[in-house]
């Protein structure tokens, strides 16, 4: 993770609960799928303090800010330009919640490389790049991206 403090103010969605602190994981089921903003960076940059958008009544214990590990978040960055292989493709999702799979989608279509019907991340549209290295990436999409990144010999 490069320059965690640069992610202050980024829009995020909590998509997993594997690496976050125990206090957060204890209410993980309620937090997954929630959206919010990175309000602070904790523990030397290893955790994001996420301020959730939800109504007070829907927040676990009425607590709005939760420490979440970066790997448990989908981050809507506003950085420009490709910084990783596969970032020519946008991120499309199939399924929902913690079972959502991340697919690669070409700029001019709404179909993923594997032919799945996908939808954009609702809080930031089609602006997120596909990351082949994430553990939720669709295996077929990753393979197609890698084949295209490797020129024929
Ligand atoms: Zn796919």
Q: Which of 45, 76, 107 finishes a domain?
A: 76
Looking at residue 73, its pLDDT comes to: 92
Residue 84, domain member (yes or no)? no
Residue with tokens 């295209």: 148
Q: How many angstroms separate the alpha carbon of residue 51 from the centre of ligand 1?
A: 31
Instruction: List pLDDT tens digits, range 94-124.
Output: 988 778 899 999 887 888 999 999 998 877 7
Domain co-membership, 102 together with 44: no
Q: How many angstroms separate the alpha carbon of residue 56 from the centre of ligand 1?
A: 36
- DSSP-H helix ranges across the chain: 22-25, 28-31, 139-149
Q: How many angstroms separate the alpha carbon of residue 118 from the centre of ligand 1?
A: 9
DSSP 124: T
- Provide the residue range defining the domain that includes 60: 4-76
Sequence-separated (6 or more) residues with CB below 8 Å from residue 139: none
Q: How many angstroms separate the alpha carbon of residue 143 from the centre of ligand 1?
A: 9
Model-wide pTM > 0.85: no
Domain co-membership, 67 together with 34: yes
Question: How long is the chain?
Answer: 153
Q: How many domains does the chain have?
A: 2
Residue 83, domain member (yes or no)? no
């Amino acid at each position: 993770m490069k320059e965690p403090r640069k992610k202050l103010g980024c829009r995020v969605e909590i998509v997993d609960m594997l690496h976050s602190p125990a206090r957060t994981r204890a209410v993980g089921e309620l937090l997954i799928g929630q959206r919010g903003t990175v309000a602070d960076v904790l523990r030397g940059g290893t955790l994001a303090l996420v301020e959730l958008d939800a109504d007070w009544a829907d927040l676990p214990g009425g607590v709005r800010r939760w420490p979440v590990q970066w790997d448990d978040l989908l981050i809507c960055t506003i950085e420009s330009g490709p910084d990783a292989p596969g970032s020519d493709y946008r991120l499309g999702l199939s399924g929902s919640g913690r079972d959502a799979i991340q697919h690669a989608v070409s700029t001019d279509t709404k179909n993923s490389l594997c032919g799945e019907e996908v939808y954009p991340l609702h809080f930031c549209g089609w602006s997120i790049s596909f990351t082949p290295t994430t553990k939720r990436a669709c295996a077929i999409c990753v393979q197609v991206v890698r084949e295209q990144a490797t020129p024929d010999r």
